[in-house]
Structure 1
Amino acid sequence: MVFHWRSIFLLCTLLFLSTLTGCMPGTQKSQPKQPSSPEHPQPSTYFSPKEREVANLPTLEGGPEYSIRKPHPVSNDLLQRKYPDVFVLRAPRNRNEVALTFDDGPDQRFTPQVLDVLKKHRVKATFFLMGSRVKALPEVTRRIRDEGHVIGNHTYWHPNLPKESVERMDWEVRETEKSIQQATGDRPRFFRAPYGEMDEKRLRRLRDMGYYITGWSVDSLDWRQLPTEEIKHNVLSNTHPGSIILFHSGGHWTQDLSTMVEALDEIIPRLKADGIRFVTVPEMVKKGS
C-alpha cells in the first residue's frame, strides 16, 4: 500500500513538472503562422510601420470587402425594375457610354494615384466617399471636386446597412452630407450602399431624402487584390454600352490596390479605342449631381 501511494505521488509530481516546463519561455511549441493570401494578406505584406500609420484612416465598420461581399444579388436587378427613376445599375445600351465609379475613398495611398490616371486620360468619374474619411482628408476630397469628378455618398462608417436600423442609415447619410459639404461646399445627390447591400425599405427612405441610388453592372473585383491582367479581363470582357463599372479608390488598410491602378491605366485607352465615351453617373442617367 505504501508503494502504491508513493507511485501515485511520483506520477503526479512528474505530470506537474511537465506542465510547468511547458509554460516556461522558449519551451512551448511555436504556433504555425497563418499563411498570407491575396484575399487575406498579412498586414506586413505590403506596408512598413510608417506606411501603416499613414494608412490608419477610419476603417470599414462592416468589415473588409473580401469578408462581406456577396455575388451581385438578383434582388438589385428587381429593385431597378421596380424603381427605375431612383435606382440604377446600368443605363440603356443605345449610347456608347460607360461610367467609372470608385468606392471607399478618399485615402492618401490610392485615391491620388487614381486621380492621376484619370487626369492623364482626361476622363471624369464618380467617387462614392465615406464621410469619416472625407473628414480626415478634406484636401483629397477637394482635389476630386476640383478636377471635375462627381462625389457621391457612401455612408460615414461603411456599415452593412441591412443589419442596421433605418434610423442608423439616416444618421450615416446625414453625417456624410455634412462632411462633404464642409470639404467642398456641395451636397451629394447620389448614394451607393456599402457592399451593394440594398433593400426596398431603405431605398424608399433614401428616395425620400432626395437621393438616387447607384449600383453597378461590372465589378472589377479589385477588392480581391487580383493581378493587373485579371482586373483588366474582368472589366474588358464584361463592359457594354451603359455599364457602370465598380472600382475602389480606398479600402481596408491591409488591401493593396496598386494592381487596380495599373489596370485602370490600360483599360481606359482600350475602351476609348472601341469608341466608348466616359461619363459621370449623373451624366449617364441625366440626373443632377
Structure 2
Amino acid sequence: MGVRRRNRSLVTTGSAALGVAVMALGVTQAAHAQTGDAAAGADAGSCRRHVALSFDDGPDNSGAAASPAYGTNALLDGLASRQVRATFFLIGRKVVNDPDAARRIRAAGHVIGNHTMNHRDMTLMTYEVAKQEVRQAQTVIKGATGATPTLGRSPFGRFNATVDRAFASVRLARSNWAVESYDWRPTATVAGVQETVLARVNEVDGTLASTGSAEGIIVLMHDNGVATAAAVPGIIDSLRAGGYCFGKMVPSRTFSEVNRGYAAVVPW
C-alpha cells in the first residue's frame, strides 16, 4: 500500500457547523436487531455506549491477491459476519478504479462519506482547488453508488477555514474521530490494532462517563491497513463483550470535542 505520511494534526476552526439536523437518539430494540446488537444482548436500555466504526481510503482491494484478508471486500465480509454496519469515507479516484466495491458498500447498508478526490492535504490548497476536490468526489461517489454523502473527512484529518468552506459548498459535515487505531502503519499487527482500539475506546468512555456525557465514540481505521480486516471481527466481539453497541455517524450542528468534528453517533 506504499508509505503514507500520517501526521494526523487536527486543525480546528471557529467556523459555523453545517445546518443539518441530527437524527433522534431514541431507537427500538427491533432496530438494533438489524445490526445484530439485540442478538448480542445490547439494546437502547443496556448499551454502555455507542461506538461508530469508520474506514478511510477506500475502496481498496489492491493487496487482496496477495492476502485474502486484506482490503475493502474482506472488511465487508468481516462486518457482515458480525451484522455490524460502519461508515466508509471513499476517495473519488479509487471509486473510479473500483466502482463495484463502492456499490457493494452501499448495498450492505453502510454509510458512505466523502474523503476527497485525490487524498491530498487540503489545508495547502486554495479554496477553488479544495472545492473541486470535494465536488469531484461527490459527483463520482453519487454516480457509482447513488449515495450523496453528507459526511466529509479531510485527508489526514486536517481542517482550516478554507477546508470548512469547501465542505460547506456541498453540505458536508466535518467528520473526524476520537480513537485512532494506527492500523495504517506497515508494521501493524492484528493483535496490536485490536489492543489499541479497545484500550482507547475504554479510555475515552471513562473520560465521557466522568462528565456524565452520553456521547458516542468514533473509531478511525483504514480499508488498506495491513491487519485491519483481520482485526475487525475481534474488535467487534470484544466491544460487545464490554457492553458497547454499534452506532451510526450522522451530521450534527454541534461541534464534538471528543470526536473533533460535526458528526454525532446515534443508534441505527
Q: List gaps (5 residues or longer) in structure 1.
A: 1-40, 44-63, 251-256
Q: Which amino acid aligns with 2:197?
A: V
Residue pairs, 1:221-240, within 5 angstroms: 221-225=182-186, 226-239=188-201, 240=204
CA distance in 2, matches of 1:180, 1:123: 22
Match of 2:231 among 255, 263, 268: 263
The answer to whether 1:215 aligns with 2:176 is yes
Q: Which amino acid aligns with 1:229?
A: A
**In the alignment, is the contact (CA less than 8 A) between 2:18 and 2:168 conserved in 1?**
no
CA distance in 2, matches of 1:71, 1:173: 19
Which residue does the alignment assign to 2:221?
Answer: 247
The total of aligned residue pairs comes to: 209
Which residue does the alignment assign to 1:70?
Answer: 7
1:165-207 deviations in whole A, cap 9, x for unaligned?
1111111111111111111122111100001111123213422
The answer to whether 1:190 aligns with 2:151 is yes
CA distance in 2, matches of 1:286, 1:273: 20
CA distance in 2, matches of 1:206, 1:165: 13
Which residue does the alignment assign to 1:107?
Answer: 60
SS at match of 2:128: helix
Which residue does the alignment assign to 1:13?
Answer: none
1:66-120 deviations in whole A, cap 9, x for unaligned?
xx222544x43xx4x8656679xxxx9x971011000000022300000001000
The answer to whether 1:148 aligns with 2:106 is no
**In the alignment, is the contact (CA less than 8 A) between 1:104 and 1:129 conserved in 2?**
yes
* Aligned sequence identity (%): 33
**In the alignment, is the contact (CA less than 8 A) between 1:105 and 1:128 conserved in 2?**
yes
**In the alignment, is the contact (CA less than 8 A) between 2:121 and 2:155 conserved in 1?**
yes
Larger RCO (CA under 8 A, 6+ residues apart) = 2
CA distance in 1, matches of 2:19, 2:55: 20
SS at match of 1:70: coil
Residue pairs, 1:1-289, within 5 angstroms: 64-65=3-4, 68-73=5-10, 75-76=11-12, 79=13, 83=16, 96-108=49-61, 109=64, 110-225=71-186, 226-239=188-201, 240-241=204-205, 242-250=216-224, 257-282=225-250, 285=264
Which residue does the alignment assign to 1:61?
Answer: none
**In the alignment, is the contact (CA less than 8 A) between 1:101 and 1:125 conserved in 2?**
yes
Structure number having the greater helix percentage: 1
**TM-score by structure 1 length?**
0.66
| Residue 285 (structure 1) shift | 2.1
**In the alignment, is the contact (CA less than 8 A) between 1:156 and 1:173 conserved in 2?**
yes
CA distance in 2, matches of 1:237, 1:286: 19
SS at match of 2:159: coil
SS at match of 2:148: coil
**In the alignment, is the contact (CA less than 8 A) between 1:162 and 1:197 conserved in 2?**
yes
**In the alignment, is the contact (CA less than 8 A) between 2:127 and 2:165 conserved in 1?**
no
SS at match of 1:238: helix
Q: Max radius of gyration: which structure? A: 1
CA distance in 1, matches of 2:164, 2:132: 15
User: Cα RMSD (Å) of the superposition?
Assistant: 2.6
**In the alignment, is the contact (CA less than 8 A) between 2:183 and 2:226 conserved in 1?**
no
CA distance in 2, matches of 1:190, 1:125: 13
CA distance in 2, matches of 1:161, 1:200: 11
**In the alignment, is the contact (CA less than 8 A) between 2:106 and 2:145 conserved in 1?**
yes
- Structure 1 outlier segments of 4+, above 6 Å: none
CA distance in 2, matches of 1:153, 1:160: 14
**TM-score by structure 2 length?**
0.71
SS at match of 2:246: strand
SS at match of 1:285: strand
**In the alignment, is the contact (CA less than 8 A) between 1:86 and 1:211 conserved in 2?**
no
Structure number having the greater strand percentage: 2
